[in-house]
Amino acid sequence: MSPDDPARSGPETAPGHTGSTAPHARVPARKPPPPTRPHPHPAEPPAEISVPPGELEAPVTTWTDHTADRPISLTAPSGIDRAAHHRLDEAWLAAAWSHPTTRCFVVSGGQVLIDETSDGRTELVMTPSFEAPLTEAHRYFLGKDEEGTSYFALQKDALPGRMDQSARPAGLREAGLLLSPRDAGLMVHAVALENWQRLHRFCSRCGERTVIAAAGHIRRCPACGAEHYPRTDPAVIMAVTDDEDRILLGRQVHWPEGRFSTLAGFVEPGESIEQSVRREVFEEAGILVGHVEYVASQPWPFPSSLMLGFMARAASTDIEVDGDEIHEARWFSREELRAGFESGEVLPPYGISIAARLIELWYGKPLPKPGSAL
């Protein structure tokens, strides 16, 4: 199942990358052909990286320097210290909540209120704590900034009424591209906690309803004493290229015609991330992968994924899609992808997804925004 699959992500889903079925719903994997020697990656991996004939395993190197000029969405330094050591200090939390400089905002169903400022910026709508809607249990401490201002998120069944004519509700896929690093960091933290809190209200050990602790970061079972922590599901997402420097992109069955993105899928139990990259690409597109390079990660709380981005080198080129989740996969040269964007035949992934940045690392420039002209 894809990290963006509706059955896993809840009501707010949008294509950011392709993906495979989850371990408990996996379609039978095809028996792989005899492995071939992978080709070296164009990013000139260190000389010590070599793959003996007949082997498809290779060490993972990193591309993190290549994202420094334009950070992955939702990963830029936010300036917020999560101050986790305060989460169990009820006296400190009470004092922080009542402090006049404290700011808070409501999160509901993955949405918050945002507003445009007079100078053209977009901000989270935050209020002093003494003006906040009443809630005790669903009040989550997010951290404090360099000035000592504390920030809280309040989980409610609905967002408050619009505070003025310009404030409006927005989900992370939209707001994440508009907000400052500070506000985006606060929002992704709050949305991830809210998703986990809504989906994990009962103890997985005994079935009793759990109670919130640690300022929203733990749920405790009053019956058996078990403690439950926010869930994070690792998923790999990879831009696969071949000897001709073409990129492999796929389209999920439920995506609109022309929407293409990188392949992706969840890491299975007992599996390394390198193994997951190779397995997912072969299961979804029938392509063997050799060399793998780690690029960057991205929090993806839809509802609880951590996307691990890679560049990967294909050791074969004959495509055979699984037909269950991946409807179509194609090799694109840069010229073919550019022509597809210009004609509208190919729609790019949404800009907030790490998928777009992985493609851009190969493409050489920013992708057009969905619905916009080049």
* pLDDT tops 90 at residue 15: no
Instruction: Using pLDDT thresholds of 50, 70 and 90, give the confidence band for residue 44.
Output: very low
C-beta atoms surrounding 242 within 10 Å: 16
Give 124's contacts (C-beta < 8 A, 6+ positions apart). Answer: 105, 112, 113, 114, 175, 179, 183, 186, 187
Among 131, 56, 43, 90, which residue's Cα sits nearest to residue 310?
A: 43
CA–CA separation, 312 and 72 (whole Å): 18
Other beta carbons within 10 angstroms of residue 70's beta carbon come to: 11
Average pLDDT value for residue range 102-107: 97
pLDDT at 16 exceeding the cut of 80: no
Cα-Cα-Cα-Cα torsion 198, 199, 202, 205, nearest 10 degrees, comes to: -150
Contact by Cβ (8 Å): 67, 357: yes
Q: Give residue 53's pLDDT.
A: 38
> pLDDT band at 5, cuts 50/70/90?
low
Instruction: Give the distance from CA 77 to its chain's centroid.
Output: 16
How far CA 238 is from CA of 19, 197, 269, 314, in Å, comes to 10, 30, 19, 11
3-class SS of residue 344? coil
- Report whether pLDDT(7) > 90: no
Q: What is the pTM of this model?
A: 0.80
Mention every residue, 6+ apart, whose C-beta is less than 8 A from residue 84: 217
What would the pLDDT profile of 241-282 be if each residue is shown by its tens digit? 999 999 999 999 889 899 999 999 999 999 999 999 999 999
**Are the C-beta atoms of 125 and 111 separated by less than 8 Å?**
no
The whole-number pLDDT of residue 216 equals: 96
Indicate the pLDDT class of residue 46, thresholds 50, 70 and 90.
Answer: very low
Confidence band of 162 (pLDDT split at 50, 70, 90): low
pLDDT for the residue numbered 135: 74
Neighbours of 340 (CB within 10 A): 18
Q: Residue 137 burial (CB < 10 Å; 0-12/13-18/19+)?
A: exposed
- Rounded Cα distance, 139 and 349, in Å: 34
Residue 368 pLDDT: 87
Give exposure, 38-47, as e/b (b: 16+ Cβ within 10 Å): beebeeebee
| Cβ–Cβ under 8 Å, residues 353 and 261 | yes
E strands, the chain, where?
A: 60-62, 103-107, 111-116, 122-124, 127-128, 139-144, 150-155, 168-171, 211-213, 218-220, 227-228, 233-241, 247-252, 263-266, 289-300, 305-314, 326-332
Least confident of 47-56, 64-73, 249-258: 47-56
Residue 103 and residue 80 in contact, taking contact as beta carbons nearer than 8 Å: no
Cα separation, 369 vs 352, whole angstroms = 10
What is the reported pLDDT for 333?
98
* 145 vs 15: CA distance, rounded Å: 33
> What's at 185, amino acid-wise?
G
Q: How far apart are CA 359 and CA 337, in angstroms?
A: 10
Q: Who has greater pLDDT, 44 or 4?
A: 4
Which residue did the predictor score with more confidence, 245 or 134?
245
